[in-house]
Amino acid sequence: MLDSKEEELIHNEFDGTFKKLSQGSALNYVNEEGEKVLLKFDESGLSMSRYTAEGALVMRFNRDLETQMKFPGLGPLELLTDQYHLDEARGLLSVHYRLAQKGQAFSSYQLNIHWGEQNV
C-alpha cells in the first residue's frame, strides 16, 4: 500500500517516427538523455524499451496481466497495469500503473503519450 502522496508532473516533447506495424504500431525517438526509445503498442498492451549504454531496459504493460522487469539498482520489479487506453485515431495512449517489489506496491504513475504531426 502506498502511504504518502508525492506528485510530480513531467512534460517532454520529442521528434520521432510513427510506424504502423502488421500487429499494432510503433513510436521511435531519442529522449533528453540521448537514449533511443522504442514504444510498441496495440489494443492489449505497450512495450517500452530504452536503449542505454548499459543495455536495454524494457517495461511491458498489459491490461490483463502483471508483468516483470529488472531495474538497475532495484532488482526485479512487478508492473501492475491499472488502466490502459489506446485511441490511435486521436494519437493518444494512456497507462496508469504501479511498481511493486515482492508484492508490495511502492509507487504509482500515470503515463500519457500523444503523437501527431507538428505544425511549424
Contact between 59 and 74 (Cβ < 8 Å): no
pLDDT for the residue numbered 118: 66
Three-state secondary structure call for residue 90: helix
In tens, the pLDDT along 59-106 reads 999 988 999 998 888 889 999 999 999 999 999 999 999 999 998 999
Domain locations along the chain: 18-114
Contact between 92 and 114 (Cβ < 8 Å): yes
